[in-house]
């Protein structure tokens, strides 16, 4: 089984200084939905995994979160793509849970539920913490958003294991043979 795990904010849709709290705030990044479509049409199972502390803070309930994801799916369907599952960590950073990025707990849950190893599975994110989680899980980390890369690398020291791409479209181009 081919699998790819993708963070939502900053990879599929525009990120914000705060987490997205409504479907009205969700806006796809250029090229992200066609990239997911190409990946799914080329045999990849698509998993979206994200931190979603706003659910814990009660600024976002599961109904609103589902509406955000339904909007994503509705827009994605226009390109013929699919997402197989959404996984999220509801904890705030101060709770120091195992499932919040930078730790690999959420990725471990995905591996356990799918009964697979994440060794060699591409994990795409726009935050250094997501890269740490991917490395800890034995996955292949892809950092997107080159406009932020130099500053984040300087401040975080991204591992040499991290592959850097400008967008999810560039990741798809790397993963899908011509």
Q: Give yes or no: 166 in active site.
A: no
Catalytic residue among 7, 17, 74, 170: 7
What is the Cα 157 distance to its own chain's centre? 20
Q: Determine which one of 9, 17, 132, 169 is catalytic.
A: 9
Q: In Å, how far are 42, 164, 175 from 147, measured between CA atoms?
A: 28, 11, 22
Helical (H) or strand (E) element with 86: strand 85-89
> What are the residues whose beta carbons fall under 8 Å from the beta carbon of 139, sequence distance 6 or more?
5, 107, 118, 119, 120, 121, 122, 123
Please indicate whether residue 7 is annotated as part of the active site. yes
Tell me how far apart the alpha carbons of residues 167 and 145 are, in angstroms, rounded to a whole number: 6
DSSP 115-176: T---TT-EEEESSHHHHHHHHHTT-EEEEE-HHHHHHHHHHH---TT-EEESSHHHHHHHHS
Q: Give dist(CA 40, CA 35) in Å, integer.
A: 9
Q: Which residues are catalytic, by number? A: 7, 9
């Amino acid at each position: 089984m081919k699998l790819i795990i993708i963070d939502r904010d900053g990879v599929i849709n525009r990120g914000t200084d705060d987490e997205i709290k409504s479907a009205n705030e969700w806006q796809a990044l250029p090229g992200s939905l066609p990239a997911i479509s190409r990946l799914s049409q080329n045999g990849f199972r698509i998993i979206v995994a994200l931190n979603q502390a706003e659910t814990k803070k009660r600024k976002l309930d599961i109904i609103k979160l589902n509406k955000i994801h339904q909007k994503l799916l509705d827009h994605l369907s226009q390109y013929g793509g699919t997402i197989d599952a959404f996984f999220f960590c509801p904890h705030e950073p101060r709770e120091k849970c195992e499932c919040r990025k930078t730790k690999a707990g959420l990725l471990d849950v995905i591996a356990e539920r799918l009964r697979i190893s994440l060794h060699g599975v591409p994990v795409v994110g726009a935050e250094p913490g997501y890269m740490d989680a991917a490395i800890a899980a034995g996955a292949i980390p892809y950092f997107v958003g080159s406009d932020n890369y130099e500053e984040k690398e300087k401040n975080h020291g991204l591992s040499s294991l991290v592959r850097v791409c400008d967008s999810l479209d560039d990741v798809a181009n790397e993963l899908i043979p011509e």
